[in-house]
Amino acid sequence: MQLDQNKAWLEGVYRCPSPHCDERPVGMEIELLVIHGISLPPGEFGGPFIDQLFTHTLDKNTHPYFADIADLRVSSHLLIRRTGIITQYVSFQQRAWHAGISNFAGRRCCNDFSLGIELEGCDNVPYTDEQYQQLIQLIQLFQQTWPVLTSERIVGHSDIAPGRKTDPGPAFDWNRLACKPDRS
């Protein structure tokens, strides 16, 4: 796994460009990695719905849950499916809209200085070995590219939006990440 020469796109992964992104503020560097969990509809895996949500093509009539989310303008840089397949939606040089109202170490607007990785899953279902393997490879690549991404700067969505978000949830095993201290 490697980045292109502009450190913008992963080579050899599926690309599904999202319109839900914009430029990072001038001079803003990547300093945080946020891990998320997502399933659409909730608790169901597979299918095109995550891609559709991030590309603003989700049909609100396909499932009752979609009526409330079809018009959201959200994205992430990456998604790791349960099979380990990776999709990239937003260039790493751009700001994906994944964190929402957020705060890390007293800094608000985490989208400005973070990368977002979605794992296909939900709070109460264990993530797959394939997902952990890909996530670990990505973390190693990102730490080589952006050395500031130390273990203290790898967080869950719940860490930067407590009370508002719960993902990646209790089913995510932080101890499987070699770069992460014990969180038990």
Cβ distance 98 to 111 under 8 Å?
yes
- Where residue 122 sits, what CATH number does that domain have? 3.40.80.10
**Contact predicate 180/131, CB 8 Å:** no
The total number of structural domains in the chain stands at 1
| Per-residue pLDDT at 180 | 56
3 domain-assigned: no
Out of 11, 23, 118, 130, which one is annotated catalytic? 118
In a domain, 5, yes or no: no
Range of the domain at 103: 14-176
Residue 8 falls within a domain, yes or no? no
For the question of residue 118 being annotated catalytic, the response is yes
Tokens of 132: 């952990």
Block means of pLDDT (10 residues each) for the chain, 184 residues, are 94 97 96 98 96 97 96 97 98 97 96 98 96 96 96 96 95 83 49
**HEC per residue, 129-183:** HHHHHHHHHHHHHHHHHCCCCCHHHEEEHHHHCCCCCCCCCCCCCHHHCCCCCCC
